[in-house]
Amino acid sequence: MVTKQQNWIARDQAVNWHPYTQMKTTRAIPIIRGEGAYLYDADGKQYIDAVSSWWVTLHGHAHPYIAESVSKQLYELEQVIFAGFTHRPAIELSERLLSLLPRLQSKAFYSDNGSTAVEVALKMALQYAYNSGRPKSKILAFRNGYHGDTFGAMSVSARGKWTAPFQDLLFETIFIDVPNRENIEELKNIVDQHKGELACFLYEPLVQGAGGMLMHEAMYLSALMAHCRASNVLLIQDEVFVGFGRTGTLFAANQLQEEPDIMCFSKGLTGGTMPLGLTTCTLDIYDAFYHDEKSRALFHGHSFTANPLACTAALASLDLLLLDSTQRSIQKIAHMHQQFVAKLNGHPQVRHARSCGTILALEWEIGQETSYFSNLQHSLYIFFLERGILLRPLGNTLYLVPPYCLSTEDLEHIYDAIMEALSVFPSIE
């Protein structure tokens, strides 16, 4: 007998091509329903979504408040061209977000995902220099960074097996290590060497997500930002992943001493319910495009720029995010993570457990360099799925990015499963 689940799997396999997936060796699990922190497959099996469905879900799946808001908007206005037209959800969302962002952020430019938010930011920085009559074409970025999969975003991200086929078409980027007490002066020197040609410095603040949940200290990042600012190098802060509470504060920006010129958001922006990208900037940037001469404008746009449904989902998600109860949940998760990290760091199988707000990561001690293609990755993925937990390791780095509605009991259950995995997979697979 073919179960409903097997039937969906076969039909999917026949027609769909999945992201970041070797189709020959992977079968996608059909999910028919989501509720809170849980996903349910076609056979009724429950999974705790401990990675917020690729880091997007903030308040849980199918949240009724967001669903009702979007549903109402769907009957009012589902889409309108955003060139020459505007609408209430986009106006209200920009007003509310800008009031929460660092003081200098003054204008909002919408797109529809994180990669496009980054592309827009790069174009803003490069054209800012061009419009000002001092063209600069180099970009500074962190090693191990990730900013998306479109060509510009790939060019400024870490290179690896996944970018190798396109290597010749990626533009040159100057890569530096994340700052720490030892290297900060050396990094400032690199900025000085290139400052005449550097249009901008693009960085993931505090946590480098796809690079392996690598964390660095706010103090040294602030120092590097200050040095770039003094050298007229624009600061592009990619908060696509860390924004909206992930690091324990509303934005990573809240933990930094310096303000960026441009900021990028997506993922949690709509609470993870709809695709939406956002690039914000200072008045100084905006003014370099504001002119009687039409060719000074930012010639970039997407069909679904500022889609009213997506903006409505973002407004509803913001309502939920700012509730005291949500803020308390974020602090609770952050606190539990800290205690678990302390416990993990005494474990012989664990290399460098760490947390930043609601993000937790640990590396398996496997006696060799971390590799995205490590076999342990797949074994751990299956181990947790069998226990009803969705975790998707990056190489031998296991991480948690839970939705804020995750219960204390479920978080403890996940910690227990991690301790069990540490005893089951003691060495190299």
Ligand X SMILES: *Cc1c(COP(=O)(O)O)cnc(C)c1O
Residues that bind ligand X (CB under 6 A): 113-115, 118, 146-148, 204, 209-210, 238, 240-241, 266
Q: Is 107 a catalytic residue?
A: no
Q: How many CB atoms lie within 10 A of CB 392?
A: 17
* Minimum CB distance to ligand X smaller for 398 or for 422: 398
Give me the sheet containing 31-35, strands edge to edge.
31-35, 38-41, 46-49, 389-390
Rounded-to-integer distance, Cα 263 and Cα 241, Å: 12
* Minimum CB distance to ligand X smaller for 237 or for 312: 237
- Tell whether residue 374 is among the known ligand binding residues: no
* Minimum CB distance to ligand X smaller for 73 or for 113: 113
The phi and psi torsions of 41 (rounded to 5 degrees) equal -90, 180
Closest distance between ligand X and the C-beta of residue 19, in Å?
Answer: 9
DSSP 214: E
Q: Is 381 a catalytic residue?
A: no
- Tell whether residue 267 is among the known ligand binding residues: yes
Single out the residue of 254, 248, 255, 252 nearest to residue 265, CA to CA: 252
* Minimum CB distance to ligand X smaller for 151 or for 289: 151
Q: Is 20 a catalytic residue?
A: yes
Q: Are the C-beta atoms of residues 398 and 418 closer than 8 Å to each other?
A: yes
Q: Is 404 a catalytic residue?
A: no
Closest distance between ligand X and the C-beta of residue 146, in Å?
Answer: 6
Closest distance between ligand X and the C-beta of residue 139, in Å?
Answer: 14
Closest distance between ligand X and the C-beta of residue 242, in Å?
Answer: 7
- Tell whether residue 136 is among the known ligand binding residues: no
Closest distance between ligand X and the C-beta of residue 55, in Å?
Answer: 6
Residue with tokens 């342990």: 376
Closest distance between ligand X and the C-beta of residue 9, in Å?
Answer: 25
* Minimum CB distance to ligand X smaller for 204 or for 410: 204
Nearest residue relative to ligand X (C-beta): 114
- Tell whether residue 34 is among the known ligand binding residues: no
Rounded-to-integer distance, Cα 426 and Cα 429, Å: 9
Single out the residue of 130, 152, 383, 344 nearest to residue 264, CA to CA: 152
- List C-alpha distances in Å: 173 to 69, 142, 296: 42, 10, 25
Helix (H, G, I), strand (E, B) or coil at 175: strand
- Tell whether residue 114 is among the known ligand binding residues: yes
Rounded-to-integer distance, Cα 66 and Cα 155, Å: 35
Closest distance between ligand X and the C-beta of residue 246, in Å?
Answer: 10
Say which of 49, 112, 238, 261 is annotated catalytic.
238
The H-assigned helical ranges of 249-292 are 283-287
- Tell whether residue 146 is among the known ligand binding residues: yes
* Minimum CB distance to ligand X smaller for 150 or for 371: 150
Single out the residue of 109, 192, 177 nearest to residue 144, CA to CA: 177
* Minimum CB distance to ligand X smaller for 115 or for 282: 115
- List C-alpha distances in Å: 364 to 71, 367, 427: 44, 9, 8
Residue 151 corresponds to which amino acid? F
Parallel, antiparallel or unpaired: strands 214-215 and 38-41: unpaired
> In the chain, what is the greatest distance between 2 CA atoms, to the nearest angstrom?
70
Parallel, antiparallel or unpaired: strands 138-142 and 198-203: parallel
- Tell whether residue 160 is among the known ligand binding residues: no
Say which of 38, 146, 404, 415 is annotated catalytic.
146
Q: Is 386 exposed, middle or buried (0-12, 13-18, 19+ CB in 10 A)?
A: exposed
- Tell whether residue 54 is among the known ligand binding residues: yes
Say which of 107, 267, 404, 410 is annotated catalytic.
267
Binding residues for pyridoxal 5'-phosphate: 114-115, 238, 302-303
Binding residues for substrate: 54, 146, 267, 301, 392
Binding residues: 54, 114-115, 146, 238, 267, 301-303, 392
Q: Which residues are catalytic?
A: 20, 146, 238, 267
